[in-house]
Amino acid sequence: MSEIDHETDVLVGDWLTLPEVAERLGISVGQVKQLLRQRKLIGVQREPGSQMHVPAAFLRGDHVLKGLHGTLTLLADSGYNEVESLRWLFTADDSLPGTPVQALAENRSTEVNRRAEVLGF
């Protein structure tokens, strides 16, 4: 379980607890934990000893953002941990434009994944 720094906390902005994620998705907290284990979502502790939080931007209505799982897999394959992945996803990229998570929300996962693929090289 990763813990984030203040800068990353502010960069992400809106967070949801696991019960809040479960409610939004209409599933159990156990199923949310399974999504975390499968890296379909990532979550972090916002402060020492706190509960796990997931960025609200990872959800669109009652489902996980389309394309997020593939991007998280590419970031993990490039050696990024949860915190580094969050920083990358929520940092503006002039070539997109906007942040990678915004591009995913706009169904531009191909563009995001092209950028994520080259991170490990």
Q: Could you give the 3-state DSSP secondary structure of residue 4? A: coil
* Alpha-carbon distance values, 16 to 9, 13, 24, 59, 113 (Å): 12, 10, 10, 10, 25
The tens-digit pLDDT sequence of the chain (121 residues) is 567 888 898 999 999 999 999 999 999 999 999 999 999 999 998 888 888 999 999 999 999 999 999 999 999 999 999 999 999 999 998 888 899 999 999 999 999 998 888 876 5
pTM of model > 0.85? yes
